[in-house]
Homo-oligomer: A and B are copies of this chain.
Amino acid sequence: MAIEGWGDTVEARRSDSGVSISEIVSDYPIPKSPEANTASIATIEVLRELGNPGGVELRIKKGLPPGSGLGSSAASAAGGAFACNYLYGNKLTSQQLIDAATNAEESVSGRYADNTSAAILGSAVLVKSVSPVEIIRLGSINELKLIVVTPQIKVLTKEARATLPEKIALKDTVKAMANTSAVATAFLKDDYNLFVNSLEDVISEPIRKKLIPGYDRIKKAAIYSGADGFI
């Protein structure tokens, strides 16, 4: 799901050849080497897809803190892919931009397309497959207002995903299938109540919440204060 009003800013300027990062504005340490930053990796992918018409110099302003669970690396990747394509005539399709950003994301977080595709397409998306990347745009829920809490705890996507067990109880699988389908339906129908009533993650939350001290107390406080859901 893409969130309005918060994100990275990526500026792209033409250069003779190659991809360089001339500046990163960030409160957090971010790799400046073009081979290690997802924005530049995605840019390299897009240039290759365009037949290498020239080079790109990037300036990146990080809006999203890395390791916050907000898809920081995917935001940079999507920004790099979009900016580079725009700079060289806007010739690629959204699908091609998602592919490029997802390949970049893969190099730091593993092959996941949820964050990259939402960043490119906007709204909520359903990732049907990652190899090849198959995405369905679901739409937005107008009434939905999100409050994002970012505690000062760094949990990398790669690490968070590694905490999940290899096997899931059948009954949890069935519940997860029902809830995920209901969330997708809620976005397709712009149905706030259905979304809120389906906001139950029986697979990741019980395990990943252990990475965030005080999670249960914060959840309780949010619900007590009037939040319709917390996840």
* Interface set of A (CB-CB < 8 Å, partner B): 126-129, 134, 136, 138, 164-170, 172-173, 176-185, 188-189, 194, 197-198, 203
Contact = CB atoms under 8 A, between A and B. Distances in A.
Contacts of A178: 126-129, 180
Contacts of A172: 173
A169 B184 CA distance: 23
A223 to B, nearest CB: 20
Contacts of A176: 173, 177
B167 A170 contact: yes
A186 to B, nearest CB: 9
Given A126-B185, A167-B169, A180-B181, 11 more contacts: A136-B182, A164-B170, A165-B170, A166-B170, A167-B167, A167-B170, A173-B203, A181-B183, A181-B184, A185-B185, A185-B188
